[in-house]
Structures are given as C-alpha cells and as structure tokens.
Chain A
Amino acid sequence: MSEKIILNPITRISGFMEIEVTVENRRIIDARTKGQMFRGFEMMLQGRAPLDAIYYTERICGICSTAHSLAATIALEQAFGVEPTIQGRYVRDFMHGCEFLQNHIRHFYQFTVPDFVKMPENYPLYQTNFRDFRLPKETNDVIVQHYFDSLPLSRSAHQLLALFGGKAPHNHGIFMGGTTASINADSIVKCQSILREIGDFIENVMIPDAGTLARYYPDYYENGTGYGNLLSFGCFDFYPELGTLYVEPSVSVDAAAGGAVRTLDPRRITEEIDYSWYTDSLDTYTPFETIPMDDQNKEGAYSFIKASKMENLSFESGPLARQWLSGEYRRGISTMDRYIARVMEAKKIHEILLVLLDQMIPGPTGQAPYLTPNAARGQGLTDTTRGALGHWIKIENSLLDFYQIITPSVWNLSSHGNDGTPGTAERALIGTELADEDRPSEIGRIIRSFDPCVSCATHVFYPNKEPKFITVVP
C-alpha cells in the first residue's frame, strides 16, 4: 500500500518548491520536485536593449545575481565579438568568487545547520518538531554559536563583491569588456585583509563543523545518491597566463562507478517539456531553437521547471560535480558528499581569489570599444555557485530577440524527462528509507544538499484522480 507525502513549503531554499513523494513500506518509490513560481524572464527580455540583459537577468536570483550578470556578459561579448581585458577578467572573476563564498557560508550555516543541529528552541524562527538531532549538547551549542558567528563573514564576502561591483546583491561592475571598476592598492589590501578572516573561518570553523555533521550523520553518505552523472560548464578556467585554476567544461557519466571525465560538448544540451507547464511545437529542443510558452493547463504536467538534458541524460551540477570533475574530492556521491564538497569548495575558491588578487595591477581595467551588431548570437556558459548556468541570446535589429536561460537548478530539479524518467533530485530521493514517516527529515535534507534556487516557476497540478493526501505534520 503506497501513500503520498506532500512537503510545501520547502524552507531554507531560495524560491518556492513542493515535494511530492510516494512511499511504500517506508521507502520512497516515486518523487516529484515542483517549482512553485513563475516570472517569465525569457519573455521579458525580448525587445530590450542588449546591454540591459546584464543588469536585468541579475534579478532572476538575489543570492546568485553575480552569476547571471557574468553569463549575460559572456553571451553579449560573444555576440558583439568583444574580448574582455585580462585585468577586467581577473576583477570580475574575483567578484564572482566572492559570491561563491557568500553563498557557501550562508548555505552551510543558515540553510544546512538547522537541519542537523538543534537551534535555540525558545526562538520562534528556529522552532521545529524534527526529532533526529544527534549531536551532544555541548557540540551542538558550539555550532549554534558558529551559525551566528558566520553572519559577519558572509556579509564581508558580499562587501568585497561590492568593493568592485558598487553593491551586492545586483552588482553594476560586471560589464561588457570586463569590468567598470578600477583597481587600487588600497582595494587589493582590503581584500587581502578580509579574505584572511574568511579563510581562517573556513579552515578553522566551517570545515571542522562539516566534519562533525558527517561524523554524527554517516547514514547520509548512503542516501541521495541519484544518477551519479556530473556536469560542469567550467569556471576560473583558461586564463592566458594562469591556465585553469579550477575546473574546465566537463562531464562524467556514472562517475562513482568510474565513469571517465570528458570534455563537455554544449551542442548536446537539450530541454524537454512533456512534464512541465510549457507548450511549444517541439517538446525537445536545443537552447537556440525555441522558447516555449507557459501553459498551466497542460495535461500531465506538474512543474514550471523543465527537464534539461545532456546527451539525452540527466545530470547533477554544483560543488560536488566540480570538485569531482576537477579531481579535488572524490569520496563519493551522496547527500553528505554534496554538503562536504560545498564546504571544501569554499576553501578552494578562497585560494583562487588570492591568486587572482595577486595578478591585479592598479589602474583602470580598460574596455575595448565595440560596435552594436544589427544581428548576432552568443552563448554565455559558466559554472556558478549552484552549478552550470547558460544564457543563449539572439540580437535582431540591435535589440534582444531571443533569450534562453538554463539555470543550475533546472539541471538539479528537472521535472521528469519526456520518457518519464525522474529528474536528478527526484532520482536522488527515490529509494530513500524514511525513519519516521510522520516527521520525514530525510526529504528536506536530501533536497537542500542540491542548494535549490527555484528561479523558474511552478505551480501545483491537481490530477483528475486526487491522490490520497497524507498531510505531514512533522
């Protein structure tokens, strides 16, 4: 006998999502991740001035806005035929790295810790009926203190971003040709000083805290494994003099079973929409082909999040994928490995930022002059905090005519593929055994290991045959 569990809202993620799982003998046998909001950026961007895409697309996401400004800029540079200056690239990649630090510190302490550590019970924001808290009181309370200690550090990471970008979130400094910011010695030394504090915290507090969670929750190395297909668009890579500091565009199919790491071919990317609320004459297409229209009345669909595919397969992207593909971390692929990889990546990014800072030379970074093309196209692919991000643009009559965006969370939170196979996080949920069906803490923990950002939207579909709703009162 199977029953359905609905969890909504999934808190401590960016955006709105509902999880519906079917459970049989306490084991999840089917899962649906449903994005719950829709804004339609791709439609909004049509007809706007090309350069506006940089600031406009930032507003897709408040926690990873820098990523969108970067992807939009790279796409525009390709369309305009502009090479960013090398100093401009160092500065804007530095800004992007600051966003990683901000995100990873906040994700670990503000989003992850409350799942495994008992927060102060007398405070309403932190009250929960979860039961599965395993840390001894003393250890628990130390991490609670670190939760609050981390707040000034993620804030400082955003401050460094704003030092070059003007403000954060939604910076102004990343722009066509590199950056608008100038470099001064006082900025460089300020960055070094703040980075030292952040680095000390990552090394001496955050990594040990992650280790503590892993020690008390070793069973989370066993669940949330999913397909094990990993993908990255690359980031901090191909510098003319420095080479690749982190990871190049690459994929690995069934990585945990020894799948080889190969170069990624972006021509093999497709999206499928049979199970999402969009209609189009095509139900599978490459990014430049079409932008489907939203259609909430579509039969059989359940999510505003489409299904993205590479070589017709579902892929996971994000810190664990990058750490694995670059050879930095290969313990395994699971819920806990995702959490650990994110924390280890913070350390890696911190190191990269120091290298970039070393390359900066005081003065204006300079931007090459350029012509606005009448018609052109460009693609901006980069890995960002949460994974692989792509912007695909076409310019017609010097205006944006077409704008396709595939965000990291589309990879991770895909709806079913057209063949009915589950998306990446859905697959990661399936097979999980729930210790307590009335208070299923596993679902939220597995989902949050992907650091979801529901920047594309969804709304709940009521099937004709209403399932039996077991409402969860955790």
Chain B
Amino acid sequence: MKMVWLELNGCSGNIISLLDGADPGFDYMISEMVELVYEHSLMSAEGEEALEHLFALMDQEFILAVEGAVPLKNGGRYQIVGNWQGRSITALEMIQLLGERARYVIAVGACASHGGVSAGRPNPSESVGIQSVLQRRVIQLPGCPCHPDWFLGTLAHLIYFGEPQLDEEGRPVFIYGTSIHRRCERRSYFDQGIFATQLGEPTCMFMLGCRGPMTTTDCPIRKWNERINWPVQANTNCIGCAQFGFPDVMEPFVRYFTLETDREGELVEVLEDE
C-alpha cells in the first residue's frame, strides 16, 4: 500500500518521533509495511517535482498520515505547502484534495487531531485539526508528539486487519483505552497520599497538577524512546499532551508549590494560584 505523510502547521515533531521508533523502525516501515511516496522532511525531490509525486497518486489507493494543524486565517494562506505551475497551494487545499481521496486518514499528533499547540489561544493562525475540514472518518492519534508505536501499531492494524476499534472520538481503543493513572508506577504513593511538593521528587505528582488521571494512553507501560523512560519516571507530572484540548485545557502544566515569606518572616509553602 502506498502512503503519504503530509506535514502541515506544526513542529515536524511527529516525523522525528517516528524516526525514533524501533522494531519496527523507519526502514522496516518503508520497506516492509508501506511504500512511502511523499514526506517533506525526507524525500529527495524538491519543488514542483516533489508535488508531482503527490498528484500522480490521485487515482491510486493510499493511506494518508497527517501531522500539523490546518490554519484557516486569510483563506488558508497562512501556510503554503508548495507552488504548482505558478500557483501557491495552501495547507487547507492540500488536505482537502488528499483527504477526500485517501483510503484511510490518520491524524498523527495533537495538532492534526485537534489543533494542539498550533491552535493555542488566542490561536493567531486560526488553526484547526484536520477532522474539522474533512467530511470523512479520521483516525485520531493525539499526543505531543505521537508515540512512534501508536502510529506504527495503528498502521499495522490497518494493513493486516483493517480499521481498529475506535472510540467515539476516533481514537484506537487498544492504545487510548485506559488512563495513565490506572497503570502508573507511582500509584501506590497516590493511594497512600504521599505526594511530591516539587518536581524532581520520587513520589506521586498529583498535587503538582498531574494529568495522568484524565489522560488515556499507555505511557506507563510502553514508555518512550525504546522504553527507556516517561515523564513521571523523570520526576515530572503528566501534562496531558495526548488528551483533546491540550494545551489550553491542561494549563497551567505545573501547579507549583512555592515558598513565600509569611508575616513572621518564615518560609511557608504556598500553592500557586491558577
């Protein structure tokens, strides 16, 4: 099956995250799983010749993976993804052109799935997730970035078994079905009420604003970067990057206890006001 990876308004962090995947890694993916036809950060061709690769696909079957949001401001002219015969093509035009024709569409990462950081208030570029501009089902893989295994696992499911079971928000249940809090390695501290008062401590991060209880991914058991670590193990709280509404509904990321001087001149812990 052919595949297009389309980068839109974002940080290109999802293709970098994909390159961080191992077994399968990027080379296995492109040689054994899909025929990658277009990827902005990696393809050899440039300019109009690159776009020819895309337009040659129009009547063929392909999977479309998208990272980044779609800016709507000024008729979409806040992001141009190429120049075709003297005409600028906006991200909006490109996603609509490819999105309606692809066999499957996968929104990879927070920006593609719901706007993410690119749509952070006051959303200066009027960015939206790709589902908002497509009249079809989009498989949603939120996360900032998307874990390489989440993408590669979803891709494997599509190739070998067809569409995976999705929840009502379009997320594969086998990845997004259980909260972080349920499987967190620090859960026993939570149950005993032993809470960290500062990042860097080895106990439960709940009082610092941990979003593990409301974020449904498998970070505690899958971990990141070849299973070496994950944010709670690095003595920080989960900031809910894989939940819809990130970043704005997750702010402030860290609700920090700080020390202030009370009337007697003693240092006391104060929970910073939201």
Contacts and interface: CB of A to CB of B under 8 A. Distances in A.
A179 B200 CA distance: 7
A294 B71 CA distance: 14
Contacts of A175: 199-200, 236
A402 to B, nearest CB: 15
B11 A62 contact: yes
B48 A14 contact: no
B85 A38 contact: no
Given A48-B251, A51-B254, A471-B85, A155 B236 contact: no
B44 A369 contact: no
A125 B39 contact: yes
A474 B46 contact: yes
A281 interface: no
B198 A367 contact: yes
Contact of A369 (B30, B43, B86, B258): B258
Contact of A455 (B11, B235, B259): B11
Contact of A459 (B19, B79, B256): B79
Given A9-B40, A52-B252, A65 B13 contact: yes
B36 interface: yes
Given A9-B40, A9-B51, 18 more contacts: A9-B46, A11-B50, A51-B253, A56-B120, A60-B11, A62-B15, A63-B16, A110-B42, A123-B30, A155-B20, A159-B20, A162-B225, A167-B234, A173-B234, A367-B198, A367-B200, A459-B77, A471-B83
Interface of A: 6-16, 18, 36-40, 43-44, 48-49, 51-52, 55-56, 59-63, 65, 106, 110-111, 114, 119, 123-130, 148, 151-152, 154-155, 158-159, 161-173, 175, 179-182, 294, 296, 364-367, 369-372, 398, 444, 455, 457-460, 469, 471-474
Interface of B: 2, 7, 9-17, 19-22, 25-27, 30, 35-51, 53, 71, 73-74, 77-83, 85-86, 88, 91, 116-118, 120-125, 127, 144-145, 198-200, 202, 224-226, 228-236, 239, 241, 247, 251-254, 256, 258-260, 267, 272-274
28 contacts: A9-B50, A12-B42, A12-B46, A18-B83, A37-B80, A39-B9, A39-B124, A48-B251, A49-B251, A51-B254, A51-B256, A52-B251, A55-B253, A62-B14, A62-B16, A124-B35, A125-B30, A125-B39, A127-B53, A130-B44, A155-B226, A162-B224, A171-B234, A296-B78, A457-B125, A469-B85, A469-B86, A471-B83
